[in-house]
Amino acid sequence: MDQTIPEVIRTVPLQYYVFFASALFAIGVTGVLVRRNAIIIFMCVELMLNAVNILLTAFSAYRADPNGQIFVFFIMAVAAAEVSVGLGIIVMIYRNFQTTDVNLLSRLKW
């Protein structure tokens, strides 16, 4: 089979993708811990999901195994469902309490 291998796969070790995804994930975790705005926390969760996506894709591309990329599809579907319900909850909370500050919402009752 005469198929050229993409340059990145030839020259970059797979380990570097692991490091890159770890850094992205750690930034997402830090964001969740640092920020208090619920929307920014949501965005940092998206960042973590994307770190996982890039790692799955990298392994899938290097190992020539399409299953990893199929998983990324499902992660995207789950992320969209999560975002729509999560933002719906945030809008409801804002409507009742006029804030998206998670510290004020830690009571879970009013």
Partner 1 sequence: MSPLFLFLSFVALLSALGVVLAKNPVHSVLFLILTFFTLSGHYLLLNAQFLAAVNIIVYAGAIMVLFLFVIMFLNLNEETEPHKPALAKFAAAIAGGSLLLILVAAMRNVNPVGYDPTSFDSQIGMVDRLGLVLFQQYALPFELASILLLAAMVGSVMLGKRETGERNF
Partner 2 sequence: MRPKPVGATFALQRLLVLLRSNLTAMLLVLPAANYQPSDYLPILIQFGLALAFVAFAMIVSHLVGPKRNSTVKDASFECGIESVGNARTPISVKYFLTAIVFVLFDVEVIFMYPWAVNFRALGNDGFIAMILFMFFLLAGFAYIIKKGILRWNEA
Q: If you write DSSP's letter for every residue of 45-73 in order, what string do you get?
A: HHHHHHHHHHHHHHHHHHHT-THHHHHHH
CB atoms within 10 A of CB 51: 20
- Name the residue nearer to partner 1 (CB basis): 54 or 108: 54
**Identified binder of partner 2 from the candidate list 14, 91, 97, 104, rule CB under 8 A:** 91
Phi, psi for residue 17 in degrees, rounded to 5: -65, -35
Least Å from the CB of residue 33 to partner 2: 27
Least Å from the CB of residue 25 to partner 1: 7
Least Å from the CB of residue 97 to partner 1: 11
